[in-house]
Amino acid sequence: MKTAIYPGSFDPITLGHLNIIKRAAVCFDKLIVCVMVNSEKVNRGLFTPEERVELIRRVVAKLPNVEADCSSPLIAEYARNGEVAYSDGLLAAYAKRRKAHVVVKGLRAVSDYENELQMALINRKLNPRLETMFLPSSAKYTYVSSSMVKEMARYGAELSDFVPREIIGDVQRKMDSRRDG
């Protein structure tokens, strides 16, 4: 069974992510969409890791070989504290645990490549059986990112061109609650 992991922050999942998921899902027997901690974004989350997984589950419900997960039960604690890095939260360790040998990453622009290449090399150093495969994002979605979605939602913009329709209400409500709180 060929299992691949599509890791990311997914805060929240976008139409660009969904496009990569659908294209990767046809290449593998199983695709695990895994919410992981990006230490550079750790204190800037809109949704908790559990909420992100729930949103992804809803969006991929009709894709039979795609599952949503987060890297470790400790992920929420890590995200809250922003302190200790549990080795369990490393992508290389997670892949080993899930018996996956491929990591799928979407590339929106050449500028993404430098950082992604470094991560691919580190991941292979930590887990020599782990290959990273890059999928170029569809031209239609090159400008779509979770940060851009949050910015649009903050100003009450229409989100249907950016996030899957199943989660539009969740993003708007979460942003409203942030604004009110």
Q: Which residues are catalytic?
A: 17, 41, 108, 146
CB of 119 to ligand PNS, least distance (A): 5
Phi-psi region of 99 (alpha: psi -120 to 50; beta: other; left: phi over 0): left
Per the rule left: phi > 0, alpha: psi between -120 and 50, beta: everything else, 157 is: beta
59 lies in the binding site for ligand PNS (CB under 6 A): no
**Least spacing, CB of residue 139 vs ligand PNS, in Å:** 20
Strand partners, 104: 133
Q: What is the C-alpha to C-alpha distance for residues 57 and 59, in angstroms, rounded to an integer?
A: 5
Q: Is 9 in the site for ligand PNS (CB under 6 A)?
A: yes
Residue span binding ligand PNS (CB under 6 A) among the ranges 18-26, 53-61, 83-91, 165-173: 83-91
Q: How far is the CB of 160 from ligand PNS (least distance, A)?
A: 22
16 binds ligand PNS (CB under 6 A): no
Indicate the DSSP class of residue 8: E
Q: Which is nearer to ligand PNS, 8 or 12 (CB)?
A: 8
- The region, left, alpha or beta by phi > 0 then psi within -120 to 50, assigned to residue 10 is left
**Which helix (DSSP H) or strand (DSSP E) does residue 135 occupy?**
strand 131-136
Near ligand PNS by CB under 6 A: residue from 2, 27, 38, 136 = 38
Q: Which residues bind ligand PNS (CB under 6 A)?
A: 7-9, 36-38, 41, 89-91, 119, 122-123
